[in-house]
């Protein structure tokens, strides 16, 4: 079986404390050993990588848990270090967010995984001041492999940004929005990988299976103790549509909560801007144009505000 690798933000590495693991640099589709676990890791070596334009290095997945623990334990230092750029700090936080989503997917019956997502959002805030920061961060997600995890993190970041920008959301409301967005696709655990990654059209039976995932996800999260109505609605209703054509409840216009309507716009946009087996990724501008062609599916005021931010 071929090795698999996990990306690590280069600026999150403190040579003196970083675990003794093999470090790889990605060149095209290949991974080249940069430093073996026996070799000393130096700041000058990391600087040479930075000067070459390297933002991410990679570790073998067998070492990923050890490295993730290192990053989590040093997160406060990383976020307060003035030598580390805002973009790098945001990328580190994105990496932790994706791993939190992955933990819920791997252990969907364990309440502590959901609690960890909420605590992460309570303790850490992405440093996004304007459109440039937002778009730069969303573009970095191509370094990560698992679609559902990076898609979920993208939706959460965009949804929280829009709620801050448009409604001045903060505190517990913003945390609830982030948790709901992070976990909106948890019901896809009930959908086989073959269906989710299928390159052709779904059969009626497969499509019916997919249509069940919002309710399944909602029920799963309630069973492990998630009670916030904002988070639960963002899971149950993220495929509802403003004109009443969505599922599973065929809600219409303002029957859909505001937070969920924003989340739905973010979900669609982030899906369009990522490569899928059945189509290549759209550019941000192309994605907005595609959504404008189906504008009846979204709250008109919310969509116009979103499009204005994305298009600048």
At residue 192, the pLDDT reads 77
pTM passes above 0.85: yes
Q: Are 297 and 245 in contact (CB under 8 A)?
A: yes
For the cut 70, the answer to whether the pLDDT of residue 58 exceeds it is: yes
User: pLDDT tens digits for 66-75?
Assistant: 999 999 999 9
Parse the chain into domains and list their residue ranges. 1-63, 85-311
- The single residue listed with the structure tokens 């991974």 is 31
**What mean pLDDT is reported for the chain?**
92
* Range from 52-61, 225-234, 286-295 carrying the lowest mean pLDDT: 52-61
Q: What is the CATH number of domain 85-311?
A: 1.10.3210.10
Q: Are 261 and 297 in contact (CB under 8 A)?
A: no
For the cut 60, the answer to whether the pLDDT of residue 305 exceeds it is: yes
Residue 64 banded pLDDT, cuts 50, 70, 90: confident
Q: Which of 151, 147, 150 is nearest to 277 (CA)?
A: 147
Residue 1 banded pLDDT, cuts 50, 70, 90: low
Question: Dihedral angle at the C-alpha atoms of 45, 47, 52, 53, nearest 10 degrees?
Answer: 130
Q: Which residue has the higher pLDDT, 289 or 61?
A: 289
DSSP 195-256: HHT-SSPPPHHHHHHHHTHHHHHHHHHHHTT---HHHHHHHHTTT--TTS--SSS---GGGS
Question: Can you tell me the distance from the alpha carbon of 139 to that of 143, in angstroms, rounded to the nearest whole number?
Answer: 9
Question: Can you tell me the distance from the alpha carbon of 78 to that of 81, in angstroms, rounded to the nearest whole number?
Answer: 5
Q: Give the mean model confidence (pLDDT) for residues 77-98.
A: 91
For the cut 90, the answer to whether the pLDDT of residue 194 exceeds it is: no
User: pLDDT tens digits for 210-219?
Assistant: 889 999 999 9
């Amino acid at each position: 079986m071929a090795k698999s690798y996990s990306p690590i933000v280069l600026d999150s590495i403190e040579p003196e404390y970083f675990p003794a693991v093999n470090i790889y640099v990605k060149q095209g589709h290949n991974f080249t050993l940069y430093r073996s676990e026996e070799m000393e890791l130096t700041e000058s070596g990391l600087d040479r990588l930075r000067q070459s334009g390297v933002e991410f290095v990679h570790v073998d997945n067998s070492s990923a848990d050890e490295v993730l623990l290192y990053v989590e334990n040093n997160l406060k230092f990383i976020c307060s270090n003035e030598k580390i750029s805002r973009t790098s700090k945001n990328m580190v936080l994105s990496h932790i967010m994706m791993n939190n989503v992955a933990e819920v997917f791997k252990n969907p019956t364990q309440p502590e995984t959901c609690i960890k997502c909420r605590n992460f959002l309570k303790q850490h805030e992405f440093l996004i001041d304007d459109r440039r920061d937002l778009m730069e961060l969303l573009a970095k997600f191509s370094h990560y492999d698992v679609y559902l995890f990076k898609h979920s993190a993208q939706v959460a970041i965009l949804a929280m940004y829009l709620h801050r920008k448009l409604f001045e959301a903060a505190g517990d409301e913003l945390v609830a929005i982030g948790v709901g967005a992070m976990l909106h696709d948890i019901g896809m655990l009930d959908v086989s990988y073959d269906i989710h990654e299928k390159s052709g059209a779904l059969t009626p039976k497969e499509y019916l299976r997919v249509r069940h995932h919002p309710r399944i996800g909602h029920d799963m999260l309630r069973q492990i103790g998630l009670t916030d109505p904002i988070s639960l609605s963002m899971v149950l209703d993220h495929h509802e549509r403003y004109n009443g054509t969505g599922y599973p409840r065929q809600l219409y216009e303002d029957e859909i909560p505001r937070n969920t309507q924003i989340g739905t716009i973010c979900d669609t946009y982030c899906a369009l801007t990522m490569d899928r087996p059945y189509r290549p990724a759209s550019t941000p501008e192309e994605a907005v144009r595609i959504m404008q062609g189906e504008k009846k599916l979204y709250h008109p005021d919310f969509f116009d505000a979103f499009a204005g931010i994305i298009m600048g």
